[in-house]
Amino acid sequence: MIFVEEEKKIGTQLTFLVSGNAANFLPEEVSIACAYKVSEALTGHPSTMLQYSPNEILDSIKKGWTVMALGEDFQTVGFAQFWEYGINKKGQQILEFGSWLSFRDGVGEKVFTEAISLGKKINPTAQLIAIVEQENLKAQAILTKVGAEEIGTKFSPVIRTVEGEAAFMKIFQISHNIELSEKEARIKQKSSDFMTIDSEIEHFVSKSMRIPEETFQKHRMLDYWLAVNYPKWKSRYGYPSGI
């Protein structure tokens, strides 16, 4: 299925993340069903989330500014989109992440992570932000977990509380900090790969077997990468830290 950019096994259920222009390879009825489901779900959160019609959601999907999480039979199990917020003092475009919905446990964080990658594709130099209602503690917890930084507050000119007052919102920057988080994730994965090959080499040595050249080269390349990117790494091959 060429429209699938990433798939994740969440529990016993398979969820496909369809990001950006990849959505244009979906059957149109899938996108339409997603647009109606998202729009209807947003109406359940009038005091915390901006409201969008099905047509507005569909336009965003076609534009390539959304992440759709699809489950069995292509039903929507998660969603998020970007829209242009404005220009910051440095002249950078500001893209706001929102309409963040999860209809299945574990999907929300996956959609968020994929959305960061999408935001960078839309505009690599843009500042990415998320604006969250102060009582939405679950969303704030996920943002904090992945390294987002609270950079301000404001009263929403659109969203109203149940009492009819302007909702108080927290603004998070999610672009710079997520890059650091992604690097940490890569370091963790590379370290794990290195230790796996390390165990393989120990096995060969214990059996007095010749170490395959490919295994040796992978081991050395991983050691070099970690020496360059991880200051605390102690190279097995003597590479200095931060080469």
Average model confidence (pLDDT) across the chain: 84
Quick one: pLDDT at residue 2?
Answer: 27
pLDDT tens readout for residues 198-221: 888 888 888 888 888 888 888 888
pLDDT tens readout for residues 5-34: 334 444 446 678 899 988 988 899 999 999
Cα–Cα dist 66/60, whole Å:
6
Quick one: pLDDT at residue 8?
Answer: 47
Domain 6-173 has what CATH class?
A: alpha beta
**What is this structure's pTM?**
0.66
Quick one: pLDDT at residue 7?
Answer: 42
Average pLDDT over residues 33-50: 92
Most trustworthy range by pLDDT among 54-63, 168-177, 195-204: 54-63
Average pLDDT over residues 212-233: 85
Tokens of 121: 């594709």
Per-domain residue ranges of the chain: 6-173, 181-229
Q: Which residue has the higher pLDDT, 184 or 52?
A: 52
Cα–Cα dist 36/57, whole Å:
8
Tokens of 183: 């690097």
Contact 118, 19 (CB under 8 A): yes
pLDDT tens readout for residues 104-163: 888 888 898 889 889 988 998 899 999 988 888 888 888 887 778 888 898 887 777 767
pLDDT over threshold 70, residue 173: yes
